[in-house]
Amino acid sequence: MIGAVILAAGESKRMGRPKLLLEVKGERVIDRVVNSFKDVADEMVVVLGHEPENLIPILGELEVRWEINEEYQEGMVSSIKTGVKTLKDCEALFLALGDQPIIKQDFLNAAIDAWKNGAKLVSPIHEGKKGHPVLFDRSLFEEILSLKREETLRKVIHEHDEDHELIDAGEWAIMDFDTPEDYQAVKEKF
């Protein structure tokens, strides 16, 4: 069973408004991200934090589960842990950014195939830069849950480099947005 954890707890401070409600290619960003996983994930959870009331009605329309991370101000690791705890019974989890509006199905399918062939971690890569979403085998869940507040997911990834498969995925894999300029660049590219 494959799960998808979509991180959507941030404050969008640099954007100045809720970025997951913005549109790319005529569709809200959160809709695009959730719909990217509908064909590959058996279970999905969107982790909310700041102003969850903005997204809860939309997630209801999309018929997707959500959890509120009350400690979202502690950083992204706290939201990752919330998602992993929620979907702990899955055999593998995609960890995805809520503000990454372009996620290619061919990558998701290739990542699952790589995992089925023994990779414990699978990431997209573009021009030497690792991107998202990252697929984690269940054997790594406890390590993720034991991360300290000041640590990042990179610690787990680095410790399992030998089991990490990288798939060339194109520029979309490293494109999310935090500022109005980033958003404009994403819209222009895609």
Closest of 176, 87, 181 to residue 132, by C-alpha? 176
- CA–CA distance, 170 with 103 (Å, rounded to integer): 10
CATH number of 2-189: 3.90.550.10
pLDDT for 187: 87
Confidence of residue 14 (pLDDT cuts 50, 70, 90): confident
Only one residue has tokens 């329309």, namely: 61
- Percent of the chain having pLDDT more than 90? 81
29: helix, strand or coil: helix
So where are the chain's domains?
2-189
Summary mean pLDDT of the chain: 94
Tell me the pTM.
0.94
Q: What residues contact 91, with CB distance under 8 A and at least 6 apart? A: 1, 2, 137, 138
162: helix, strand or coil: helix
DSSP code string of 64-130:
-EEEE-TTGGG-HHHHHHHHHHHTTTSSEEEEEETT-----HHHHHHHHHHHHTT-SEEEEEETTEE
Render pLDDT for 134-168 as a digit per residue (tens, 0 to 9).
999 999 999 999 999 889 999 999 999 999 999 99
State yes or no: pLDDT of 16 exceeds 80: no
Q: What residues contact 121, with CB distance under 8 A and at least 6 apart? A: 134, 135, 136, 137, 140, 157, 160, 163, 164, 165
- CA–CA distance, 80 with 7 (Å, rounded to integer): 7
Confidence of residue 90 (pLDDT cuts 50, 70, 90): very high
Considering Cα of 68, then 73, then 79, then 81, what sign does the dihedral take? negative
